[in-house]
């Protein structure tokens, strides 16, 4: 095995560092894999009602439409949406929908 040249910080790169880390009992996970694994870490559980609201968000319904479909007020829908955003750690309804689909929380169809 040839020596790996140091990077700009003077640190060795590549397979040799990975082997050393594993030998020391550490994990060596590529950043892309770590990011995918982090997406699958379960967050706080959604209530049945939050799950119902999330499914309707994924279907493209507005708060008003969701309220009508579930026979609840728009204000209650907004409270559920805010709770969903917090539990999924996302900023908006679109991110909630894509995250829910990606994590398999809901499916299309």
pLDDT of residue 95: 96
Mean pLDDT for the chain overall: 85
Q: Is the dihedral of CA 61, 62, 63, 68 positive or negative?
A: negative
Domains of the chain: 1-41 (no CATH), 48-103 (1.10.10.10)
Specify whether the CB–CB gap between 4 and 15 falls below 8 A.
Answer: yes
Q: Is the pLDDT of residue 6 over 60?
A: no
Token readout for 55 is: 């499914």
C-alpha to C-alpha distance for 13 and 5, rounded to whole angstroms: 7
pLDDT tens profile 63-72: 999 999 999 9
The pLDDT of residue 9 is: 55
């Amino acid at each position: 095995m040839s020596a790996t040249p140091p990077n700009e910080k003077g640190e060795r790169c590549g397979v040799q560092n990975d082997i050393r880390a594993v030998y020391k009992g550490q994990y060596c996970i590529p950043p892309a894999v770590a990011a995918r694994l982090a997406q699958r870490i379960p967050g706080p559980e959604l209530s049945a009602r939050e799950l119902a609201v999330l499914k309707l968000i994924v279907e493209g319904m507005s708060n008003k439409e969701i309220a009508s479909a579930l026979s609840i007020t728009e204000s209650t829908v907004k409270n559920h949406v805010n709770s969903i955003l917090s539990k999924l750690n996302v900023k908006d309804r679109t991110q909630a929908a894509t995250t829910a689909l990606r994590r398999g929380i809901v499916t299309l169809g």
